[in-house]
Amino acid sequence: MNFLNSLISGLSLGSVYAIIALGYTMVYGISKMLNFAHGDVIMVGGYVSFIMTMYVGMNGWLALLVAMVVCTLLGIIIERLAYRPLRGTGSLAVLITAIGVSYFLQNAALLIWGANPRVFTSLFDGVGTIHAAGGQLTITPESLFTILANIVIMIVLTLFVNRTKAGKAMRAVSEDNGAAQLMGINVNQSISLTFAIGSGLAAVAGVLMCSAYPVLMPTTGAMPGIKAFTAAVFGGIGSIPGAMIGGLILGIIEIFSRAYISTELSDAIVFACLIIVLLVKPTGLLGKKVSEKV
Amino acid sequence: MKKNWTKFLVVALSVMMVFAMTACGGGSGDSGSSEGGDNALHLGGVGPLTGPAALYGNAVNNGAQLAVDEINAANPDGVQLVWDMQDDEHDAEKSVNAYNKLVDDGMQVLVGTVTTAPCTAVAAEAFEDRMFVLTPSASGPAVTEGNDNVFQLCFSDPNQGIASADYIKANYADKTVGVIYNNADNYSTGIYDKFKSEYEADGKKLAAVEAFSDDANADFTAQLNSMKNAGVDLIFLPIYYTPASNIMTQANKMGYAPTYFGVDGMDGILDLEGFDTSLAEGVLLLTPFTPYSDDAKVQDFVKAYEDKFGETPIQFAADAYDCVYAVYDAFGKTGLGTDASSADICEAMIKVFTGGDFTASGLTAETMKWNAEGEVDKTPKVCVIQDGKYVEQ
């Protein structure tokens, strides 16, 4: 039973990582940049949803929708103001800007919402936990919904990228930016769309994460952001199924090492696994091998 | 590809280092302290008045100010106290600068500093300068270690662990006890180590011990499952209230309801915005001070504090208040005049504090005594949370 309990926790935590990792991996895929501010967009999503439920009195699901809209806009604005002017100046300038944006968001949150931690009310407040096998097996509604949401998001996103015109345009830009432009694809629009989708998903991840682990602080997004980034690299950065697999595996490794090996070493084990995977397969589990032009 | 990665990492790390270094911008406190010649003893304080730990520094500043005003008003013809507190933003380097400024301004006794890491740095300076130090709240053992001039008014971290273990053994002998602690935090591991050795001293065993690292949003289901499977019905939590609230929420979802026992870091859990305080019902915590106490002295203090500062005092305010009274009483016993040098005062005060017959009385304990190591000896209070309030056990 302990095994099943841990498996469910691991899948649920891994699903949160996977949804966040999508934002990293899609942005990397299309613009070859690491958006380190992504983790902090999660935190903004959490706070917006918190404010909407606690002070405006909205229903949790409506608040989630508002948080998604705010984060989507935030993602587009960040891309427009901070990253677009630097496009073509090399990856270092953009990387440093991304770290700057991350600090900006954290400190803005500190200024607006203060340093005192808040406790987030779960989306499923009042929904009972499922107890099975004589109370041995517990499944919280949060973990069940997180796992389901992850699966739905993955299916919808895969269909979107493969079947729709906008999705095809995104893939084309990812493949070859210049050629895509010559074919009449609006590159700026495609990149904006990617940021919008990634940031909207970050809001979902933020609300789901805070529902399960309810503490909300200006630095709430930092650690999950790093773990999800690890998951994206683990699965092969740039690959959507890779983000899902990487996230799930990371979550399961983390919970199982806590349950069976040591709670003190769980983070070390997670990152050791990453190093081993990268040593054996430098592009990650599902990453494409790209030969670099010299 | 691979090469790019290394480049990214190197740059990311160096940028973070630059940020870490430049994040310590300027900003100095206000000056203002009169010179000697007036029959006044100059007390200095150092602590975080701004920044993330500002809550603690401001409480100390307010509590000390209240005590100073009371003492000055009570005997206008006797020794008067002058209080000057400087900001250190919970930063060791700034703390030493603030301390040096106070020394230049004629400070004779330091009531501070508020937090452990800066206090360790300042204590070393003060040891060189022969400045008497009584800290209200820096609880780490490194603060007093090797410094004969530094005394703590709060329990040291190890002593909190010992006191908790003794209390649990005496009052909850039939409970199965487990621990969840933060292994990335000195405070938490310090308390846990002593708790474990004290608890297991006479053959008892901790049923389960689990750890987590600094991340407040962590998933605690693995730790809680381990507690549940080991049959633990009392969990000792030597951690701050933020992760503790997370643990209580997650345990509640699992349908697991053990008794929780916290230390002074648990203080604040009832003020956490959005937290369902009904989950904290029945939580036991070791704290030196509760504003809800029936004690007349405490009630007077709480009322005066609320009137003056518009908020309910936390234990840091009470610690600082007691510090000022302890220093004032001890200074009276030295027989020195207020024109004595800080070094003379320091030697005389050390003699009084370690003399064996000096006891202070205050809000945080009826009697407080100090040993030569600078640690305080007082009876810990254990409170239980009932109807959203601390009730003394």
Greatest Cα pair distance in chain B: 79
* Residue B138 sits in the same domain as residue B192: no
Contact between A258 and B223 using a beta-carbon 8 Å cutoff:
yes
Q: What's the CATH code of the domain at B126?
A: 3.40.50.2300
Contact between A117 and B2 using a beta-carbon 8 Å cutoff:
no
Segments forming the whole domain that contains residue B348:
40-155+297-377
Nearest to A229 by CA among A263, A274, A273: A274
Q: What is the pLDDT of residue A278?
A: 87
Per the structure, how many domains does chain B have? 2
* Residue B345 sits in the same domain as residue B319: yes
Interface check for A117 against chain B (CB to CB < 8 A): the answer is: yes
Q: What is the pLDDT of residues A227-272, one digit of tens each?
A: 999 999 999 888 889 999 999 999 999 999 988 888 888 888 888 9
* Residue B200 sits in the same domain as residue B275: yes
Residue of chain B whose Cα is closest to the Cα of A287: B1
Within 10 A of B384 (CB to CB), how many other CB atoms are there?
16
* Residue B173 sits in the same domain as residue B219: yes
Domain-located, residue B282: yes
Return the sign of the alpha-carbon dihedral for residues B223, B225, B230, B233: positive
Tell me the pTM. 0.77
Contact between A220 and B249 using a beta-carbon 8 Å cutoff:
no
Residue of chain A whose Cα is closest to the Cα of B52: A115
User: In Å, how far is B147's CA from the nearest CA of chain A?
Assistant: 33
Taking CB atoms and an 8 Å cutoff, what residues of chain B touch A258? Answer: 210, 219, 222-223
Domains of chain A as residue ranges with CATH: 2-123+139-280 (1.10.3470)
Residue of chain A whose Cα is closest to the Cα of B14: A96
Q: d(Cα B318, Cα B330) in Å, to the nearest integer?
A: 18
Interface check for A57 against chain B (CB to CB < 8 A): the answer is: no
Domain-located, residue B26: no
* Residue B219 sits in the same domain as residue B316: no
Taking CB atoms and an 8 Å cutoff, what residues of chain B touch A115? Answer: 52
Of A60-74, A203-217, B243-257, give the range with the top mean pLDDT. Answer: A60-74
CB-CB: which of B246, B272, B274 is closest to A213?
B246
* Residue B164 sits in the same domain as residue B90: no
CB-CB: which of B15, B220, B255 is closest to A129?
B255
Q: The tokens of B323 are what? A: 């510090």
Contact between A282 and B12 using a beta-carbon 8 Å cutoff:
no
Q: What is the pLDDT of residue B1?
A: 47
Q: What is the pLDDT of residues A154-183, one digit of tens each?
A: 999 999 999 999 999 999 998 888 899 999
User: In Å, how far is A166's CA from the nearest CA of chain B?
Assistant: 28
Residue-averaged pLDDT of chain B: 86
* Residue B162 sits in the same domain as residue B257: yes
Domain-located, residue B9: no
Residues of chain B with a CB closer than 8 angstroms to some CB in chain A: 1-4, 7-8, 11-12, 15-16, 19, 52, 183, 210-213, 215-223, 225-226, 229, 242-243, 245-246, 249-250, 253-255, 272-276
Contact between A213 and B1 using a beta-carbon 8 Å cutoff:
no
Contact between A223 and B217 using a beta-carbon 8 Å cutoff:
yes
* Residue B99 sits in the same domain as residue B65: yes
B322 or B286, which is more confident? Answer: B322
- pLDDT band at A214; cut points 50, 70, 90: confident
Residue A42 has pLDDT above 90, yes or no: yes
